[in-house]
Amino acid sequence: MKTQQFTVVDPQGIHARPASQLVAAATPFASTIELHTAGKVANLKSILNVMALALKQGSSFTLQVDGADEAQAFEAVTKLIVEAGLAK
Amino acid sequence: MIQLTGIAASDGIAIAKAYRLVQPDLTVSQKVISDVEAEQKRVDDALAQSIEELTGIQQLTREKLGEEEAAIFGAHLLVANDPELVGAMKQKIAEAMVNAEYALTEVVKSFVALFESMDNEYMRERAADIKDVSNRILAHLLGVHIPNPSNIQEQVIVVADDLTPSETAQLNRDFVLGFTTNIGGRTSHSAIMARSLEIPAVVGTGTATTTIQDGDIVIVDGLTGNVLVNPDEEVVAAYRQKATEFAAQQEEWAKLLNEKTLSSDGTQVELVANIGSPNDLDGVLRHGGEGVGLYRTEFLYMGRDNLPTEDEQFIAYKTVLEGMDGKPVVIRTLDIGGDKHLPYLPLPEEMNPFLGHRAIRLCLDRQDIFRTQLRALLRASNYGNLKIMFPMIATLQEFRSAKAILLEEKANLLAAGEAVSETIEIGIMVEIPSTAVMADTFAKEVDFFSIGTNDLIQYTMAADRMNEKVSYLYQPYNPAILRLVKMVIDASHKEGKWTGMCGEMAGDEHAVPLLLGLGLDEFSMSATSILKTRSLIKRLSKVDMQALATEALQLATADEVLEKVKQIVK
Is the CB of residue A59 less than 8 Å away from at least one CB of chain B? Answer: no
- Inspect the interface and report whether the beta carbons of B78 and A23 lie closer than 8 Å: yes
- Inspect the interface and report whether the beta carbons of B120 and A17 lie closer than 8 Å: no
* Spatial distance between the Cα atoms of B516 and B522, rounded to a whole number of angstroms: 10
Is the CB of residue B206 less than 8 Å away from at least one CB of chain A? Answer: no
Q: Which of B47, B76, B78 to mutate to test the interface with A (most CBs of A within 10 A)?
A: B78
B115 vs B363: which has the higher pLDDT:
B363
List the domain range (segments joined by +) for residue A9.
2-83
The most distant pair of C-alpha atoms in chain B lies apart, rounded to whole Å, by 85
pLDDT confidence bin for B567, thresholds 50/70/90: very high
Residue A43: in which H helix or E strand, if any?
strand A40-43
Whether the Cβ atoms of residue B141 and residue B2 lie closer than 8 Å to each other: no
What number is the average pLDDT over the span B279-287? 88
Instruction: Establish if A62 belongs to a structural domain.
Output: yes
- Inspect the interface and report whether the beta carbons of B82 and A48 lie closer than 8 Å: yes
Instruction: Establish if A88 belongs to a structural domain.
Output: no
Residue B492: in which H helix or E strand, if any?
helix B479-494
Mean pLDDT of chain B: 91
Question: Using a CB-CB distance cutoff of 8 angstroms, which residues of chain A are in contact with residue B306?
Answer: 12
Instruction: Establish if A11 belongs to a structural domain.
Output: yes
Q: Is residue A15 flagged as an active site residue?
A: yes
ipTM of the complex model = 0.91
Per-residue confidence (pLDDT) for residue B169, from 0 to 100 = 64
B66 vs B319: which has the higher pLDDT:
B319
Total domains in chain A come to 1
The partner residues of B158 in beta bridges, in order of sequence, read B19, B179
Q: Which of A16, A45, A54 sits opposite B75 (nearest CB)?
A: A16
- What digits encode the pLDDT tens for the residues B28-77? 889 999 999 999 999 999 999 999 988 988 887 788 767 777 777 888 89
- Comparing B135-144, B334-343, B511-520, the range with the smallest average pLDDT is B334-343
Domain ranges of chain B: 2-22+149-251, 36-142, 255-568
Is the CB of residue B130 less than 8 Å away from at least one CB of chain A? Answer: yes
What's the sign of the alpha-carbon dihedral B334, B338, B344, B349? positive
- What digits encode the pLDDT tens for the residues B355-388? 999 999 999 999 999 999 999 999 999 999 999 9
Say what the pTM is: 0.64
Question: What order of strands is seen across the sheet that includes strand A2-7?
Answer: A2-7, A60-66, A32-37, A40-43
- What digits encode the pLDDT tens for the residues B296-309? 999 899 878 889 99
- Comparing A13-17, B110-114, B306-310, the range with the smallest average pLDDT is A13-17
What number is the average pLDDT over the span A50-57? 86
B64 vs B347: which has the higher pLDDT:
B347
Q: Which of B81, B84, B118 sits opposite A49 (nearest CB)?
A: B84
pLDDT confidence bin for B165, thresholds 50/70/90: low
CATH number at residue A36: 3.30.1340.10
Task: Reply yes or no on domain B255-568 having CATH 3.20.20.60.
Answer: yes
Predicted confidence (pLDDT) at residue B289 exceeds the cutoff of 90: yes
Q: Which of A15, A24, A45 sits opposite B305 (nearest CB)?
A: A15
- What digits encode the pLDDT tens for the residues B414-442? 999 999 999 999 999 999 999 999 999 99
Question: Using a CB-CB distance cutoff of 8 angstroms, which residues of chain B are in contact with residue A22?
Answer: none
| Gap from B530 CA to chain A (nearest CA, Å) | 41
B535 vs A39: which has the higher pLDDT:
B535
Is the CB of residue A52 less than 8 Å away from at least one CB of chain B? Answer: yes
Residue B208: in which H helix or E strand, if any?
helix B208-211
Q: B140, B189, B363, B493: which one is catalytic? A: B189
Whether the Cβ atoms of residue A1 and residue A66 lie closer than 8 Å to each other: yes
Domain B36-142 falls in which CATH fold?
Enzyme I; Chain A, domain 2 (1.10.274)
Dihedral over alpha carbons B295, B301, B302, B305 (to 10 degrees): 170
A69 three-class SS: coil
pLDDT confidence bin for B350, thresholds 50/70/90: confident
Question: Using a CB-CB distance cutoff of 8 angstroms, which residues of chain A are in contact with residue B75?
Answer: 16, 20, 47
Name the H helices within B157-198: 165-170, 189-197
B28 vs B478: which has the higher pLDDT:
B478
Give the architecture (CATH level 2) of B2-22+149-251. 3-Layer(bba) Sandwich (3.50)
Q: Is residue B502 flagged as an active site residue?
A: yes
Question: Using a CB-CB distance cutoff of 8 angstroms, which residues of chain A are in contact with residue B76?
Answer: none
